[in-house]
Structure 1
């Protein structure tokens, strides 16, 4: 499974009809909004992809359609009820190209591919997961009351891991750029906003007050991350630069 994020622009005829010089005003025109579209293209070569229900735009090739299932149908329904992933999420397998629904300018996302190593489990905020290879196990992780109160994720998050003996791939999307950092034993990450969008098993997350009895330095409640593992962080989202 390989993916590419395409930025599509209007045709030459559109520029001509709207009296816009394409060479000098391709990205900006003082009086007209030039429409650009972002679309994800997924290439399959004897492989499969699990996508969000409703996110398909079109597909072409020697492909078969199925729905994601675990060995436990009740678990599938529980995943559907507690996360944004439907228990009948579409799965496309074979050789061809799958295109996801386009996003118009102003709603572009930043896409981050993550490799799921054997015995490695990632936990993601609701709404971050976009698609993944079909050799994964989808599950859920219940949040503590304080974690749910400090975020918009509800009571549950999606958890993904690769099938035993395999390496899988998941692609997530956020409104600001992200990167993966690694915490070593004894290190901690403290953030005053929802900076972390996902982390691996072995990381402990807590949402608690910094200090007690008026000795908290004015920070109030902050996010604490400790343990040993990887984190998906969005550093610039809290700067409101978007």
Structure 2
């Protein structure tokens, strides 16, 4: 499973009808917004993909359609009730292309592909998961009370792990550019905003006050990550850099 994120611009006719010179005003016009859209294109080569329910725009190829299932149907229903992943999430398998719903300019996302190795589990913030290979088990991770206070994820987060002996791929989306970093044993990450959008088992997350009674630098409540594993982080979120 591979994917491309494409930016699609208006047709030649649109430029003519709106009296805009495409060569000089392709990206910006002083008085009129040019309606670019962003669309994800997933390429399948004898593979499968699980996508969010309702996110399909179109597909083409030698493909079969199904729904995500494990050997524990009650767990599947539980995951759909407690996270943003829908019950009966669509699965497409075979050879071809799957296109997701386009996003209008102003609502573009940054997509990050993450490989998940055997016995590794990723836990993602609500709304971060977009699609993944079909060789996974989806679960739900309950948040502690302090974690709920510092996030908008409710009481549960989505947890993804590959099937035994396999490597899976998941694609996450964030409003700001994201990357995967490693945290080694003995290291600590402290952030004064919701910088971490996902992390692996082995990482301990806490949301607590830095110091008490005026001591500790005056930062108030911060996110703290310790342990050993990987994290999906957005370092420049809130900087207005797009």
Answer yes or no: same fold by TM over 0.5: yes
- The residue number in structure 2 matching 1:88 is 88
Q: Which string of whole-angstrom CA distances, capped at 9 and with x for unpartnered residues, describes residues 138-182 of structure 1? A: 001100001011100110000001111111100000000011111
Q: Which string of whole-angstrom CA distances, capped at 9 and with x for unpartnered residues, describes residues 13-57 of structure 1? A: 111111111111000011111100000000111110000000000
Aligned-pair CA distance for 1:73: 1.2
Q: Is the partner of 2:22 in helix, strand or coil?
A: coil
- The residue number in structure 1 matching 2:131 is 131
- The residue number in structure 1 matching 2:118 is 118
Q: Is the partner of 1:138 in helix, strand or coil?
A: strand
- The residue number in structure 2 matching 1:214 is 214
Q: Is the partner of 1:20 in helix, strand or coil?
A: coil
Q: Which string of whole-angstrom CA distances, capped at 9 and with x for unpartnered residues, describes residues 194-215 of structure 1? A: 0000001000000000001221
Q: Which string of whole-angstrom CA distances, capped at 9 and with x for unpartnered residues, describes residues 82-111 of structure 1? A: 000012100001111100000000000000
- The residue number in structure 1 matching 2:176 is 176
TM-score norm. by structure 1 comes to 0.98
**Count of aligned pairs between the two proteins:** 242
Unaligned residue ranges in structure 2 (runs of 5+): none
Unaligned residue ranges in structure 1 (runs of 5+): none
Q: Is the partner of 1:239 in helix, strand or coil?
A: coil
CA contact (8 A) 1:50 1:133 kept: yes
CA contact (8 A) 1:55 1:101 kept: yes
Separation in 2, partners of 1:70, 1:129: 18
- The residue number in structure 2 matching 1:43 is 43
Q: Is the partner of 1:16 in helix, strand or coil?
A: helix
- The residue number in structure 2 matching 1:143 is 143
Q: Which string of whole-angstrom CA distances, capped at 9 and with x for unpartnered residues, describes residues 205-235 of structure 1? A: 0000000122132111000000000000001
CA contact (8 A) 1:187 1:226 kept: yes
Separation in 1, partners of 2:52, 2:149: 26
RMSD of the TM alignment (CA)?
0.8
CA contact (8 A) 1:195 1:238 kept: no
- The residue number in structure 1 matching 2:167 is 167
Q: Which 4+ stretches in 1 moved above 4 angstroms?
A: none
CA contact (8 A) 1:193 1:238 kept: no
Separation in 1, partners of 2:110, 2:45: 24
